[in-house]
Chains A and B, each alone.
Chain A
Amino acid sequence: MKKILIANRGEIAVRVIRACRDMGIATAAVYSECDRAALHVRLADEAWPVGPSAPRESYLRIDAIIDAAKKAGADAVHPGYGFLAENEDFAAACRDAGLTFIGPSPEAIALMGSKTAARQAAIKAGVPVVPGTEEPLGDRESDAEVQKVAERVGYPLMLKAVAGGGGKGMRMVASPADLASALRAARSEAQSAFGDGAVYLERRIMSPRHIEVQLLGDHHGTVLPFVERECSIQRRHQKVVEESPSLAVSPELRRRMTAAAASVAKAVGYTNAGTIEFLLDERGSFYFLEMNTRLQVEHPITEMVTGVDLVQWQIRIARGERLDLDPEALLTPKAHAIECRIYAEDPDNGFLPSPGRIQGLRVPHGPGVRDDSGAYEGGDVPIFYDPMISKLITWGDTREHAMQRMRRALAEYQVRGIRTTIPFFQWLLEDADFKAARFDTGFIDRKLGKDPAGHGEPPRAPMQAIDATHEDLAAIAAAVHLFTKPIMNGVAAPAASRWRDAGRTEALR
């Protein structure tokens, strides 16, 4: 493998470029119109345009990306996450074009991409799944038939899209009376989001934690699981903070969960990096939820607690190398790690997107801090893509140590010109329940006081704790800034001539 084309953008494209550099492999980037000056383009050895800014016309264009790989003379393609990473047609197109797809086989992507097929695979492997329907409920199933199935599953239950993800096509149903309308809503949402209206039913697990297990599988039959990740801190079904290990998982439970994850992957002949997601209930029972057939956003926390470079191993596995890692070491955390996903959103304004130019950037450094970012000073956050601009990861000997470092790093982190979710994380890190690791997947939505029916968020105190002294200092700073700004130093010719021009305009009136 001499040159890898990275079929992605943003921080994950930068992350993959770094892994390639570490291994002496050349890199080819792809970019859309608005990403011409993006960091991944600037850092890559070469870069190829793939179309206009809208994802559908560029980063989701299989033909354009295969074409770029051919022009670049790449011999492999890394899909990152999102975009085409879990698209079996893309993996197959790479294979057909003689390119190594750095990920699982198209067959594995297709199998685990169907939630009902994945559940059946888990059941065959002897892994518990959330009680529910094994067969998809298509449009032909009448409400009465679904009602019958629902009685068997038991209320409250969850309606989920078979092709789903990201919380779309998902509805909680509390009682039989709500079923018909929830079914209609979930089917139409699934149809428009995934082009497939099929849904299935699952019993609702009360107060679950979201725990997931990272896996690597090579082409020689070895599958190795890693220490679990705790991903219960979610906002509207999207993870925002992850940590590893989980305080809710004992060494004994870890052994059972990781063994279960590995057996599901082995049962489907899985290769490369993947993640098995579980729900963990209050009694310590766990249930298979789904498998992600790609590198995860939150992979760095696993890297920091095990010392394994997952992206490098993805490449080595794709080259046919054997996984010669010590399985015991992968299940023994050497540290505690936390990740905060920094979004270009204003947390004090209903998490409104805040795209625009980054006027200034100060990135935290020092012991126990890692910043995986696609941002730079003077760079733009475009409106077309996911608003995540970076991932801040800290680690330490204990959870408290990692959290204290996260507080320090967040205070050092300055993203000027746009608003980010940094104040949200500062607020979260002071929360007593978060500090005590008392949470489940509904934690953030409850803390933000979100209406369970999903009707927006009521007004609430600002997340930033700005006291009178900080306001005083900000007032002094602003005044000192203007007072000392070097605009009148004689050399400030532009300003002077602007006045002169204004004077002339005035005279002509």
Chain B
Amino acid sequence: MIFEVAIGNRVRTVGIVRKGAMLHVDLDGRPHIVDARRVNDSMVSMLVQLDGARATSRSVDAAFAAQPTAGDFDVHLDGLTIPVQIRPAGSVGRQKKDGPASPPAGPQRVVAPMPGKVVRVLVKAGDLVRARQGLVVVEAMKMENELRAARDGRVRDVAAAEGQSVDAGALLLIVE
């Protein structure tokens, strides 16, 4: 599952996969291993091995306060209050990211970034789409997330249907 996290003027990309008891977290290309335990609904205790190095375990006690806008949180850790905006990948304005994002080569597999419901399918098979054009809107945790085309192309294999519930990683459509 991939998130984009905006703090101040910078957007970070955070990918998470579970491997056994650990979460493998990729933060802008740097791998970290996190042992995460939920304390309750709004607190998480994390033991973080920064850069995956076992020698540098750091205990991070994090607590969260939701702000009125969905996806906006105050993260409390180390005595600090850090406002963040978090969205599933693809739904944060790319212009905020440092440097131009180079589109990946090959067909773009558009997948659900998190479990949720397909609210709208904005394109149909055979449509020509331009980079950053909206393709599918997936809703989860009261957040609507528009998934966009990474570059110009033609829509193929629309697997998503409006109203359908999907799991994280489910293929929605392909742009080539």
Which A residues have a C-beta under 8 Å from some C-beta of B? 359-360, 362, 410-414, 416-417, 419, 422-423, 426, 464-466, 470-488, 499, 502-503, 506-507
Contact = CB atoms under 8 A, between A and B. Distances in A.
B66 A359 contact: yes
A482 B86 CA distance: 9
Interface in B41-86: 41-44, 46, 48, 58, 60, 62-66, 73-82, 84, 86
A479 B25 contact: yes
Nearest to B30: A472
B84 A475 contact: yes
A483 B27 contact: no
A464 B163 CA distance: 44
Interface string B113-139: 011010100000000000000000001
13 contacts: A360-B63, A426-B79, A464-B80, A470-B78, A475-B14, A476-B14, A477-B60, A478-B14, A478-B86, A482-B3, A484-B36, A487-B141, A502-B163
B151 interface: no
B157 interface: no
Given A477-B44, A479-B3, A471 B25 contact: no
A19 B79 CA distance: 31
Nearest to B5: A475
A410 B5 contact: no
Contact of A477 (B65, B66, B77, B79): B77
Contacts, number: 136
Nearest to A468: B10
B152 interface: no
Contacts of B65: 359-360, 416-417
Contacts of A473: 48, 58, 60, 62, 77-78
Chain B interface, >50% SS class: strand
A481 B44 contact: yes
B42 A360 contact: yes
A426 B77 CA distance: 14
B23 interface: yes
Contacts of B25: 476, 479-480
A507 B162 CA distance: 10
A506 B120 CA distance: 10
A360 B43 CA distance: 10
B117 A416 contact: no
A499 B102 CA distance: 36
B111 interface: no
B148 interface: no
A484 B42 CA distance: 11
B19 interface: no
B78 A411 contact: yes
A360 B76 CA distance: 10
Closest 4 CB pairs of A and B: A411-B79, A416-B65, A477-B62, A475-B5
Contact of B64 (A413, A466, A481): A481
Counting chain A CB atoms within 10 Å of each CB, the highest count among B43, B77, B81, B141 belongs to B81
Contacts of B36: 480, 484
Given A360-B42, A471-B7, A499 B81 contact: no
Contacts of A411: 78-79
B8 interface: yes
Given A466-B82, A470-B78, A475 B12 contact: yes
A471 B141 contact: no
B44 A484 contact: yes
B158 interface: no
A478 B1 CA distance: 13
B5 A478 contact: yes
Given A464-B80, A486-B38, A478 B3 contact: yes
Contacts of B32: 476
Counting chain A CB atoms within 10 Å of each CB, the highest count among B27, B60, B64 belongs to B64
A482 B117 contact: no
Given A414-B63, A499-B165, A480 B34 contact: yes
